[in-house]
Amino acid sequence: MSDANRRDAASALPGADEVVTLIVKHRVKAGAEAPYEAWLRRIVGVAGQYEGHLGVDVIRGKSGGLALFTCVLRFCSTAAMQRWLDSPQRQALVAEAAPMLADGDQTEVHPVHEFWFTAQDDGASAPPRWKQALLTMLVILPHTLLVPLIWGPVLQLNPLLANYVVATFLITLTIVLSVVYLCMPLATRLFAPWLQASVADRHLEPGHGQ
């Protein structure tokens, strides 16, 4: 990513105390898929060693007849993300991959929760809000039923833990961490065909398929 693009991205970043996602999209030239996959495994391993890196998901798709790789990297803060963006290791690896990429190194930055329902393919729209709401409810409802039951015996062990404010904080924190880092990413991948089905029906035209 050029210095100008990096400055533009940094100016749009959320606060440094907020978990952020770095979205990296690469369209790979025809015939370069295998070497790109090998390169991708290397850069994912290097990124995972950086302080503040919270994990990565790789989503494979198609765009314009070429393989599209969307990498979703989560960081504990914008500062941690910027350290990775500015690192000599990343710059050298991106330069190595440049000949394999049709459009260069495309990056976006989002607060962590905004990527749950972001369209992955170019030109696609986000899923209908009723689908977003339904899937979110399906993820959160079991948490609201089960987490208080799981915490219950522990909260009774100490009067401080049994305090309404403390108990509510612990239960809410457990739900938020589970939903943000585990369940919503898994749910959106699992239900991706259903989430995007109506969008595909609206935009698909003869001869415009993948």
User: What are the residue boundaries of the structural domains of the chain, listed by start?
Assistant: 3-115, 129-203
Contact status, residue 155 vs residue 115, Cβ threshold 8 Å: no
Contact status, residue 16 vs residue 79, Cβ threshold 8 Å: yes
CA 11/CA 5 separation, integer angstroms: 10
User: Residue 200's pLDDT is what?
Assistant: 42
CA 78/CA 75 separation, integer angstroms: 7
Instruction: Kindly state the DSSP code that residue 22 receives in the 8-state scheme.
Output: E
User: Residue 56's pLDDT is what?
Assistant: 85
Angle at 58 between CA 179 and CA 192, to 5 degrees: 60
User: Residue 124's pLDDT is what?
Assistant: 52
Contacts of 28 (CB under 8 A, 6+ apart): 36, 66, 67, 68, 69, 100, 101, 102
**pTM for this one?**
0.53
User: Residue 3's pLDDT is what?
Assistant: 45
Q: 3-115: what CATH class?
A: alpha beta
Instruction: Kindly state the DSSP code that residue 101 receives in the 8-state scheme.
Output: B
Q: Which amino acid belongs to residue 4? A: A
User: Residue 33's pLDDT is what?
Assistant: 94
- Which residue ranges in the chain fall short of pLDDT 70? 1-18, 111-127, 196-210
Q: Could you count the other beta carbons within 10 Å of the beta carbon of residue 64?
A: 12
User: Residue 10's pLDDT is what?
Assistant: 42
Query: What is the per-residue pLDDT across 91-142, written as a single tens digit (0 to 9) for each?
Result: 999 999 999 999 999 888 876 554 555 555 544 556 677 887 888 888 888 9
